Amino acid sequence: MTAPARRPQVVLFDLFETCLQLEGLRPRFAALGRPEDEVWLFFARLLHQGMAMTLAGEAPPFATVAADMLRRTSGRDLTDDQVASVLDGFRELPVHPDVAPALRRLAEAGVPAYGFTHGSAEVAGAALEAGGVRDLFTDVMSCAELKQFKPPPAVYHWACDRIATAPARTALVAVHSWDVHGAISAGLLGGFCERLEGRIPDSVARPHVAGPTLEDVIEGLLALPEEPTP
């Protein structure tokens, strides 16, 4: 029998699109003479390739996969400078408006927040710093250290080990249902923000908490029952 969900001691936040807006890359595609909406196909291919290579045993760095998928999506003849002109934009992605209030609510409750990405922790951290929220995260972690993309269980367990919390007392919050599904499958609490996908797909594990904004999700996680007093 599965133990009832308890209020998390730590919350992990996915970063790209959960906290950082990929819309910020649209002008960089336009500068290449490409449709701005191509950013979504590029990012979907980036995730697909990284996950596939993880399944095969080991994934290259996020930036290497991103460069390959950008050329596949937007032109095999792109120069290194043109590729860099897009990928450098990850450092300047704007922060979604619901991020700061959600993080401040966690801080008020005494629950630490960590950024958790497949990409470069330094690059994501720079974007969070520019957006004025980096100081609200205890740390920013990247599973690139494992040479893996999410969502294998080992990736989430690595994050829990690094911050010394039990999976059952650690929540993963994301706008990607597959990421929340991966966390739940690894024994973590799952908080699904509906901002991107709009609903919980029928094919994934039911999240412990769901809501339209990150603030709603955090309120739901904090409303879970406390650990019983011994």
Q: Where are the domains of the chain?
A: 10-20+93-222, 22-92
From the list 214, 222, 221, the residue with the least C-alpha distance to 95 is 214
What was the pLDDT predicted at 3? 64
What count of Cα atoms within 13 Å lies in the side-chain half-sphere of residue 122? 4
pTM of the predicted model, to two decimals?
0.94
What was the pLDDT predicted at 230? 44
Digit-by-digit pLDDT tens for the chain (230 residues) are: 356 789 999 999 999 999 999 999 999 999 999 999 999 999 999 999 999 999 999 999 999 999 999 999 999 999 999 999 999 999 999 999 999 999 999 999 999 999 999 999 999 999 999 999 999 999 999 999 999 999 999 999 999 999 999 999 999 999 999 999 999 999 999 999 999 999 899 999 999 999 999 999 999 999 999 865 44
What was the pLDDT predicted at 110? 97
Same fold, 10-20+93-222 and 22-92: no
* Ranges of H-type helices in 98-230: 99-109, 121-130, 153-163, 177-185, 214-222
Cα–Cα distance, 142 to 61 (Å, whole number): 10
What was the pLDDT predicted at 228? 55
Cα–Cα distance, 74 to 70 (Å, whole number): 6
The amino acid at 120: S
What was the pLDDT predicted at 179? 98
Triad 179, 204, 181: Cα angle to 5°? 25
10-20+93-222 folds as: Rossmann fold (3.40.50)
22-92 folds as: DNA polymerase; domain 1 (1.10.150)
